[in-house]
Structure 1
């Protein structure tokens, strides 16, 4: 078989190496079209143009607290993202598996890329409407910098937003988009940032308050709720993404769910319901339900890399700026 027409693997970096970042590394290990070459965490980074061994990276992070300890390719630094950008110009795209705490953190990371002169594809799995709005406001800056930025490309927003955009095509008018998610994790400490973000959506809490909570305070809250967080009317960017795509006003989009932090079994099935009126005047509802066996990590990382591949195709055509999961179809990564 000739290999002359096989494109080289897309060289991918992962920013953030908590539960989501480690899952992303495992997902990439099974992909021939992408190669994990760079990782940054809070205390350091690792870069290898020929590719990183995800098992070594995870083992080093879990035993020593940073991939910066990975010999001989790790580097310890308090400025890991900037130092990685400067040290690894050949990375084609980055998945920002970062907490959005504080609310302007991911937009601030995007500004680091703009200022550095790096060009390529960035993808995030951001949640909050206000954070996505900050990124949308940077559209012209990203375009001028030669960066193709794919935002809101996880599960929700992301996979379910895209499903809603597709389901909407049956209708002349959309009445309601309702996203309900169930997440089960065996141990909240594996997804500390994600759980804190969820707490920030609860009544009586803010992003800042959740970020300031100690691990002991989080555990005390979880003890009160038997490990279960019930979330309603969340500030989730599915609303602004569907509005920007011209599908439905944000006031008709609701997102909520249940997170069980002590049981890997989902407390309920994740789904999106799109209700609308057909051209014949009939009201109907499409429901798209995710299989319970798919984990949060599978439903976030898979779409993120699918959108990174789609972003790479846009980038190669000279199309820069910012795009959402409701505008572009993800490309399956083999």
Structure 2
């Protein structure tokens, strides 16, 4: 304990320097979430066409306005840089950034893993956090665990809403039971305009019968519009390939075959079509069968339930990294830390 802690000084430690890779709907929401925080400072942002960096912090509203009017934060003068390999170029600059939130679309399915390899190759050391969905995408990162550890990177994977917040809730609720029978995650998402979350909606379409990651990625905006017209803007998703299963299995809680994820996404209405919840059914040590249900408030948006946990896990990752703990961790293994 240092002198300031002993005397109860209110002097705040230096804010964690954070970067956001990907500046679509989720990346812009991430910038808004960070804006009022004292413990984290947004210093870097990147999109397909450029990046921006400012050691004393980026202005979230300026970044969003520039992106929406000109298509890239790279147009921000004088701190922006236009480039078609923005992530690679930003990493190579070796700016002092403690951690990055990868708010990137995972299309193709190995995209996030390829970004992680760029960080390893660059020699950068710090914390990475993602909110990816697919089991197979997380399994690719699991295969890189030793490489990440050797590179001095603390990587937090599956740290959004599901997988993420709901997976962690399941891991906590499981403690009441001697045996877990099933974990059922059901989500409702409401957005006013699908174009604000194009990559996320395409990832959801990839989970629908008759579609794959490749076909969803290849769809034009017009083809997505046609599909949404057929469904009145509603996507119904069942038995999704969601990494909650492998994460809960890795944590020793339940076999992946007993975890199911599904939901309803309304792309034309900000109101959630159904409440988001996770149900954990098991047997207690007394032999009783029971179900815990954790339900998210309908007023919390997808962005709030993804970005909040992501930065909470990023803060936890920074704590691990400062203690020399590197490698790959999931939302079911580590408790997130609240970012003030």
TM-score in terms of structure 2 length: 0.97
Residue 118 of structure 1 corresponds to 124
Cα distance, 1:87 vs structure 2 = 1.9
Match of 1:162 among 161, 168, 172: 168
Q: Mapping of 1:57-72 within 5 angstroms? A: 57-72=63-78
- Of the three residues 284, 302, 305, the one matched with 2:311 is 305
Contact 2:179 2:284 in 1 (8 A): yes
| Aligned position for 2:20 | 14
Query: What do the CA deviations read for 1:193-218 (whole angstroms, capped 9, x no partner)?
Result: 00000000000000000000000000
Q: How far has the Cα of 1:85 moved from its partner?
A: 1.0
Question: Is contact 2:94–2:124 with CA below 8 Å preserved after alignment?
Answer: no
The offset of 1:105, in angstroms, is: 0.1
Equivalent of residue 261 in structure 1, options 257, 264, 267: 267
Match of 2:328 among 299, 313, 322: 322
Structure 1 residue runs of 5 or longer lacking an equivalent are none
Tell me how far apart the structure 1 counterparts of residues 214 and 269 of structure 2 sit (CA, whole Å): 27
| Structure 1: distance between partners of 2:187 and 2:10 | 44
Superposition TM-score, scaled by structure 1 size: 0.99
- Which runs of 5 or more residues in structure 2 are unaligned? 1-6
Tell me the secondary structure at the aligned position of residue 229 of structure 1: strand
1:101-125 deviation per Cα after TM superposition (whole angstroms, max 9, x unaligned): 0000000000000000000000000
* Matched residue count: 334
C-alpha displacement at 1:160, in angstroms? 0.1
Q: How does 1:155-234 map to 2 (within 5 A)?
A: 155-234=161-240
Looking at structure 1, the residues matched to 313 and 104 of structure 2 have their Cα atoms a distance apart, in angstroms, of 17
**Structure 1, residues 118-175: CA drift from partner, whole Å, max 9, x if none?**
0000000000000000001000000000000000000000000000000000000000
Which residue in 1 is equivalent to 2:89?
Answer: 83
Structure-2 separation of matches of 1:269 and 1:30: 28
Q: Say if 1:260 and 1:267, in contact at 8 Å, map to a contact too.
A: yes
